[in-house]
Structure 1
């Protein structure tokens, strides 16, 4: 039997879900080592990242449950639960670091794919130069230098545009990440509140059921008393029913001794 189930069934359930995710992450990274295709590696990393996000959400929920139980458990139990939570956080961080390492290696592979071998000088340029005069060579050299300068300027502009786009994209991603984080935290809080409200509704339901039982018993007692009163009024000489105060028939008038004589 899970020791956490003795403390709280909700904690035991969350702990089981986190343990399942950790097993899935371990198996996923072992599978990732055997994948050679970059696209398949990227998809596997995305899947593992989703599991790590879910695990982070569950650890936050575990922490909220622990804080909710602080007032109802002894310090030793709360210390044990906090240590367990720290162990979960440490294990999750190890998988996050492993994911970053694989992502970096995958990015380096993609960069290598774009880097091709340098092109050599064309041989026909040399053949063409041998048939040209000095002035033509100078003009051709100046023309090539102008083209090179223009190409460098275009490259600078492209690089600057790329930097600007990258800066704007990074700022947008940062804002979206913060917004998504706030949304996730709000959803977690709503989910936690719904669970607490469900528990409260169940407790209220049990209390209402108890109150209804008491009211039914009182109703039966009142109905019985009313029935006895009715029977007594209809048949006041009925000796099977005990006299009810105020409804008993009047006692017979006693005669004095001297009135008899």
Structure 2
């Protein structure tokens, strides 16, 4: 269809319908390859929804066309009418396919519903149609299915209980590891604090040792100086450049001082 000769709204609706019809064609091709009845049912539901949307758009297409019919030429109105009939025909084809697949799917479900299996032992199976069973057989089959369901529920409960126990054990182990890590961190903090204090103590001891060495060196220099003065005084007692050391002056000096005071 030549979209250049119609309005923008009609062209947009026509494009949407074309997309849905293409999706329906691909969907039914995909449906032919599906073997599982449940998947077939879901696919058929999706295609049915698309067909409803397509039918709504066709009606909207017709409304828009009728609203503009008086403005269009005869050839354009004929083209739009042919387009509408073509879309309806294609949609009806998909509707027929949907009915055929729905009928086939309904027959499969009916067969599955009417069958019941009763096993008398390993490798033994008797198949009966539900319509041919008497009341007792139906009750026995129902009881067996309920027992199997109860057993499955019990197995599921046990699995859940085991899972909860494993989770609790994992949580306890994780908590213990977390506490152990916390203790290790505390111990590392204590070690770091002790090392810091030890470093400060070593620095203080180093400063004290340096001070003591300075004092000892000063005392050594003083002692060496005193010894040197004593030695020089002994070797050269008349040297006036060296003062007398207190307590080491000769007694003569005291006598001279006494005589000087007496004669005054």
More strand by share: 2
User: Is the structural similarity TM-score above 0.5?
Assistant: no
Give the alignment's TM-score, normalised by structure 1.
0.43
Specify the structure having the higher radius of gyration (Cα): 2
